[in-house]
């Protein structure tokens, strides 16, 4: 019996005893509580072993419980004081109580507030995606008596149902398990009721799902002898009878489907587990303040964080906001974690991506499930009903009937997991991971053959893999034939400009660019090289891209069939794509140009920031030398948008392609050193913010419009450090140092590489953060790291800290 099962049995044996959190942030001795700005969170395992996260956001006065199960459900409410300001809540108990009865799982915990009166409202029970959007739109800050929060997709569905004939409407609402439209409409808002006795007062908030299959329940209980409670409309008021002391109990119930958690011994390989054990042993003999003790605690926290994200069904991207499958996050994490994972985990990641491929071979970026799936189905249903009535008006009876029949199927299958295929980078990442696993000599040929032949999902995995490679061959064919900017892989158009369809997927992420550097200069050539390695690996295990597989859906007639037959054509494509970075994206600035542009950027900053960064530039001399870097993207006419950025860390990590010839070693070494130096050159010339880490972008050399965009949308801008970029850089440099005996071009630069690695590592360690992303503020003339408001506390690719620690330990660092 594994440790998780034992822990769950212990919970069930003593259901009234609070279980301590698995993790908590901020943690004494590991985190600076001031940097969290009133935010605190706890992670638990419920009675089914599923992750439950509860957070108290003191800045916003918002309490949210995430149920990271198969529904990605959440229950949230706001807390305000008598003047309507966010009320800081505190934990009222050391843990939480978990029970399970049939399909129903419950969690119960206590909260308190040191205020005379407390007002609770904006109860929102449903999908965490809805909670996320609710907060993004700042609706939680509205007065409690403001208009109710509604989802436009659900409103359109209700309007569409109302338009149907009575007979059709009855049939369609029956598919939602309702007798009429009023029942469906009533399910769109939570119902608040109360009950009271001499010793107990309770409010019950009930939210059924739109299809009536599941129910979320939030109960708030208090002692009326200590707290006077009033229910008014959709809000509650609590007043302490003896001053500023209010305590209450929160109980949450769900009937949502559970996941099957994985344990560390199912995730990590023996070498890493031995490393973890040795770290724990060293920490046990050290004092609590000793670095060995802190390191052991930190490693254990990261391992537990990964376990919270891992189940037999999926790897979740992050908690609390992304407790679902994300293709990009999973694939990049798998690449970084291969040295510490069991081989089964890479296999699992590849199989997950292949299972969710589109008919065209696209990798799913994100799954929509539970309430989010219902939301997307509602939008599709409304469109089909519109099509039905348009066909009726045009007397196209067959089309009208077909549209209505499809609409009924959408309602029937409303809970079906839906896939989002609107990103580009993950299409190019899957071949890289697949090639590394298929080329791994530690995995037997028999196991590889069995994996590729597996048709559990209705089609052999080999056919799915070839379909994905065929998509890659189509995406890269035009540039391979004629290497001009207009043939690079483009982002799709949107209403204004171009959609950011790679990892910097915020509005400002690529500064309005059309051709992303990471997609075109890094992932595209890496994917083509991976394709070459896959062909070699297939031949080595007695499997080929034979006519039967190559003539399958989405493969026949694509450039893939030529590449499989003609290695010369594939090599030519690789060579041309390998030059894309140098041909299109390099920005070179003289010392004078560096000073001019940095001066202009500082002039546009608020005075306090301008003065601070001017002092940094003067003391570091960062503007006294020339600068070159890869632009973040090209605009629509193929000109570089001069935003310096951390994306070259991906190339540092992935390594120079195996097809690069010996003659390019010296040039490749210079390119690598150029990218490393950008990371350690002080911001606002380079990327390094002392005591914080490398800024994910530096817009000092870009047009002024980019400054404004990043100011409005800082998610991927100069005020943010991303954990994934830090780890890609650290792993990349560590791998290069480890390979120096076989790399004569880089060997003379060992001291510089070690110094750069240590500079970045030290800055991040002093920030105190090892999460998805973090930011900084200027306070009292100095830079102070702070938690990024919507950042994940536990994020899949940020747990690659574990791979970094393992790699550095092997270097003696």
What pLDDT digit, counting tens, does each position of 497-553 carry? 999 999 999 999 999 999 999 999 999 999 999 999 999 999 999 987 764 455 456
3-state helix, strand, coil in the chain (%, to 5): 45, 20, 35
Tally Cβ neighbours within 10 Å of residue 635: 19
Integer Cα distance of 630 and 615 in angstroms: 26
Task: Give the residues across from 763 on adjacent strands.
Answer: none
Round to whole Å and give the CA distance between 680 and 758.
10
Measured CA angle at 684 (ends 679, 690), to 5 deg: 60
pLDDT tens-digit map of 231-242: 998 899 999 999
* C-beta separation of 719 from 711 below 8 A: no
Is a pLDDT exceeding 50 seen at residue 3? no
Give the pairing type, strands 322-325 and 366-368.
Answer: unpaired
What is the rounded average pLDDT of the residues 595-603?
98
Q: Which two tokens stand for residue 486?
A: 């207009």
- Mean pLDDT is lowest, of 146-150, 323-327, 343-347, 660-664, for 660-664
Q: Residue 665 phi/psi, 5° resolution?
A: -60, -45
Confidence of residue 114 (pLDDT cuts 50, 70, 90): very high
Name the pLDDT band for 286 (thresholds 50, 70, 90).
confident
| CA separation for the pair 371, 210 (Å, rounded) | 8
Q: What's the rounded Cα separation, in Å, for the pair 114 and 786?
A: 25
- Which residues have a Cβ under 8 Å from the Cβ of 107 and sit 6 or more positions away? 44, 46, 52, 54, 65, 96, 97, 98, 251, 252
Residue 664 — pLDDT band, cuts 50, 70, 90? very low
pLDDT(66) > 50: yes
**CA distance linking residue 536 with residue 601, whole number of Å:** 50
How many angstroms separate the Cα of 221 from the Cα of each of 76, 114, 226, 759?
16, 17, 12, 51
**C-alpha distance from residue 208 to each of 73, 106, 216, 412 (Å):** 12, 16, 6, 17
Long-range contacts of 587-590 (CB under 8 A, 24+ apart): 587/627, 587/628, 587/629, 587/630, 587/631, 587/640, 587/642, 587/644, 587/701, 588/626, 588/627, 588/628, 589/626, 589/627, 589/628, 589/701, 590/626
Q: What is the mean pLDDT of residues 466-485?
A: 96
pLDDT for 663 beyond 80: no
Per-residue H/E/C for 197-239: CCCCEEEEEEEECCCCCCEEEEEEEECCCCEEEEEECCEEEEE
Q: Which two tokens stand for residue 477?
A: 């064919």
Average pLDDT over residues 164-184: 97
Q: Among 637, 529, 522, 531, which Cα is nearest to 580's? A: 522
Question: pLDDT at residue 562 above 90?
Answer: no
What does the alpha-carbon distance between residue 772 and residue 101 come to, in Å, rounded to a whole number? 35
Closest CA to 248 of 221, 230, 217, 228: 221
Q: How far is CA 99 from CA 215, 266, 499, in A?
A: 16, 26, 45
Peptide bond into 192 cis (omega under 30): no
Which whole number is the average pLDDT over 10-22?
A: 67
CA 614 to chain CA centroid, Å, is: 35
Task: Please state the separation of Cα 279 from the chain's center in Å.
Answer: 29
The backbone torsions φ and ψ at residue 409, rounded to the nearest 5 degrees and listed phi first, read: -65, -40
Three-state SS for 379-440 is HHHHHHHHHHHHHHHCCCHHHHHHHHHHHHHHHHCCCCCEEECCCCHHHHHHHHHHHHHHCC
Average pLDDT for residues 570-596, to the nearest whole number? 97
Summarize pLDDT for 349-387 with one digit per residue, the tens.
Answer: 999 999 999 999 999 999 999 999 999 999 999 999 999
C-beta separation of 224 from 199 below 8 A: yes
Q: What is 90-151 written as a DSSP string?
A: EESSSSBEEEEETTEEEEEEEEEE-SSEEEEEEEEEEEHHHHHHHHHTTGGGS-TTSPPP--
Q: What is the distance between the alpha carbons of residues 433 and 76, in angstroms, rounded to a whole number?
A: 38
What average pLDDT does this structure show over 798-809?
96
> Encoding tokens for residue 484?
């001009």
Starting at the edge strand that comes first in sequence, how are the strands of the sheet with 720-722 ordered?
720-722, 773-779, 782-787
Distance, CA of 712 to CA of 76 (rounded, Å): 27
Element (H or E) spanning 265, and its range? helix 264-267
- Residue 443 and residue 387 in contact, taking contact as beta carbons nearer than 8 Å: no
d(CA 128, CA 763): 33
Average pLDDT of the residues of the chain: 93
Q: Work out whether strand 246-254 and strand 215-222 pair parallel, antiparallel, or are unpaired.
A: antiparallel
Backbone angles phi, psi at 560, to 5 degrees: -60, -40
Reported as a pLDDT band with limits 50, 70 and 90, residue 661 is very low
pLDDT over 70 at 790, yes or no: yes
Residues found in the chain: 813
Q: Rounded to an integer, what distance in angstroms lies between the CA atom of residue 117 and that of residue 242? A: 11
User: How do strand 720-722 and strand 773-779 relate by DSSP bridges?
Assistant: antiparallel
Determine the pLDDT at residue 554: 66
Report phi then psi at 356, rounded to 5.
-100, 10
Token match 């070498």: residue? 271
> What distances in angstroms separate CA 184 from CA 170, 180, 212, 410, 590, one per listed residue?
11, 7, 8, 16, 66
When pLDDT is averaged across residues 455-484 and rounded to a whole number, the result is 94
Q: How confident is the model at residue 771 (pLDDT cuts 50, 70, 90)?
A: confident
53 Cβ contact partners less than 8 Å away, ≥ 6 residues apart:
41, 42, 43, 44, 65, 66, 68, 319, 320, 793
Q: What is the pLDDT of residues 199-232, one digit of tens each?
A: 999 999 999 999 998 999 999 999 999 999 999 9
Distances from the Cα of 74 to the Cα of 231, 393, 768, angstroms: 23, 42, 28
Residue-level pLDDT at 563: 74
Confidence (pTM): 0.94
In the structure, what pLDDT confidence band is assigned to residue 741 with cuts at 50, 70 and 90?
Answer: confident
Residue 689, SS3 per DSSP: strand
Closest CA to 238 of 104, 120, 337: 120
Give the pair of three-digit tokens for residue 584. Answer: 């299109």
DSSP state, 19?
A: B
Residue 5 pLDDT: 44
**Of 497, 504, 518, nearest in space to 585 by CA:** 518
The pLDDT value recorded for residue 186 is 96
Examine the pLDDT at 9 and tell me if it is beyond 70. no
φ/ψ (deg, to 5) at 100: -145, 135
How much is the pLDDT for 553? 65
Pairing of strands 586-589, 515-516: unpaired
Chain segment 38-50, per-residue pLDDT in tens = 999 999 999 999 9
Rounded to an integer, what distance in angstroms lies between the CA atom of residue 794 and that of residue 299? 13
| pLDDT higher than 90, residue 244 | no
């Amino acid at each position: 019996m594994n440790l998780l099962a034992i822990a769950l049995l212990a919970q069930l044996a003593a259901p009234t005893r609070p279980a301590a959190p698995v993790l908590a942030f901020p943690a004494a001795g590991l985190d600076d509580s001031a940097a969290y700005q009133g935010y605190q969170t706890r992670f638990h395992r419920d009675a089914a072993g599923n992750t439950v996260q509860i957070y108290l956001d003191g800045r916003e006065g918002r309490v949210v419980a995430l149920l990271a199960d198969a529904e990605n459900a959440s229950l949230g409410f706001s807390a305000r004081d008598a003047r309507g300001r966010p009320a800081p809540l505190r934990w009222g108990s050391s843990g939480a109580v978990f029970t399970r009865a049939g399909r129903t799982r419950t969690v119960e915990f206590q909260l308190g507030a040191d205020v005379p009166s407390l007002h609770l409202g904006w109860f929102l029970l449903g999908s965490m995606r809805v909670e996320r959007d609710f907060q993004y739109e700042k609706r939680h800050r509205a007065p409690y008596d403001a208009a109710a929060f509604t989802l436009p997709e659900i409103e359109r569905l209700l309007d569409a149902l109302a338009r149907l004939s009575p007979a059709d409407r009855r049939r369609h609402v029956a598919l939602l398990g309702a007798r009429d439209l009023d029942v469906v409409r009533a399910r769109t808002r939570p119902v608040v009721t109360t009950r009271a006795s001499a010793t107990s007062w309770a409010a019950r908030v009930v939210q059924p799902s739109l299809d009536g299959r599941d129910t979320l329940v939030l109960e708030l209980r208090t002692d009326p002898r200590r707290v006077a409670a009033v229910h008014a409309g959709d809000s509650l008021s609590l007043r302490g009878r003896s001053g500023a002391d209010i305590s209450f109990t929160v109980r949450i119930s769900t009937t949502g489907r559970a996941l099957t958690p994985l344990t560390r011994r199912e995730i990590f390989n023996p070498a890493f587990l031995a490393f973890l054990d040795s770290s724990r042993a060293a920490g046990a003999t050290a004092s609590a303040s000793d670095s060995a003790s802190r390191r052991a605690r930190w490693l254990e926290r990261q391992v537990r964080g990964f376990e919270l994200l891992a189940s037999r069904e999926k790897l979740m991207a992050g908690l609390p906001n992304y407790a679902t499958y994300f293709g990009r996050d999973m694939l990049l994490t798998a690449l970084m974690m291969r040295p510490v994972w069991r081989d089964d985990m890479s296999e699992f990641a590849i199989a997950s991506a292949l299972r969710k491929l589109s008919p065209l071979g696209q990798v799913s970026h994100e799954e929509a499930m539970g309430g989010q799936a219902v939301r997307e189905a509602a939008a599709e249903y409304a469109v089909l009903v519109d099509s039905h009535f348009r066909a009726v008006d045009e007397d196209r009876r067959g089309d009208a009937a077909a549209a209505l029949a499809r609409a009924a199927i959408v309602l029937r299958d409303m809970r079906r997991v839906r896939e989002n295929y609107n990103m580009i980078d993950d299409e190019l990442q899957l071949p890289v991971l697949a090639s590394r696993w298929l080329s791994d000599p530690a995995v037997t040929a028999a196991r590889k053959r069995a994996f590729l032949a597996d048709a559990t999902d209705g089609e052999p995995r080999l056919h799915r893999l070839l379909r994905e490679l065929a998509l890659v061959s189509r995406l890269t064919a035009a540039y391979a034939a004629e290497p001009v900017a207009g043939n690079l892989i483009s982002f799709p158009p949107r209403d204004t400009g171009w959609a950011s369809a790679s990892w910097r997927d915020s509005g400002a992420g690529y500064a309005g660019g059309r051709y992303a550097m990471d997609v075109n200069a890094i992932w595209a050539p890496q994917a083509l090289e991976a394709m070459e390695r896959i062909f070699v690996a297939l031949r080595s295990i007695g499997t080929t891209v034979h006519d039967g597989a190559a003539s399958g859906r989405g493969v026949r007639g694509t450039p893939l069939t030529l590449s499989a037959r003609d290695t010369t054509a594939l090599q030519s494509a690789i060579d041309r794509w390998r030059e894309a970075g140098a041909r299109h994206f390099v920005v070179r600035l003289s010392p004078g140009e560096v000073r001019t542009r940095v001066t202009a950027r500082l002039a546009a900053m608020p005075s306090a920031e301008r003065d601070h960064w001017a002092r940094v530039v003067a003391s570091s001399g960062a503007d006294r030398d020339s600068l070159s870097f890869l632009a973040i993207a090209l605009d629509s006419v193929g000109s570089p948008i001069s935003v310096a950025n951390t994306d070259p860390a991906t190339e540092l990590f992935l390594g120079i392609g195996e097809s690069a010839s010996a003659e390019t070693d010296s040039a490749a070494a210079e390119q690598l050193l150029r990218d490393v130096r950008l990371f350690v050159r002080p911001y606002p010339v380079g990327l390094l913010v002392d005591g914080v880490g490398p800024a994910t972008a530096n817009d000092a050399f870009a047009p002024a419009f980019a400054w404004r965009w990043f100011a409005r949308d800082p998610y991927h801008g100069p005020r943010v450090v991303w954990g994934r970029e830090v780890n890609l850089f650290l792993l990349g440099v560590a791998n290069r140092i480890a390979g120096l005996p076989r790399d004569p071009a880089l060997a003379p630069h060992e001291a510089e590489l070690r110094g750069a690695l240590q500079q970045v590592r030290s800055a991040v360690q002093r920030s105190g953060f090892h999460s998805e992303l973090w930011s900084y503020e200027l306070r009292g003339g100095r830079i102070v790291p702070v938690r990024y408001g919507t950042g994940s506390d536990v994020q899949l690719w940020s747990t690659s800290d574990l791979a970094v620690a393992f790699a550095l330990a092997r270097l003696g660092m």
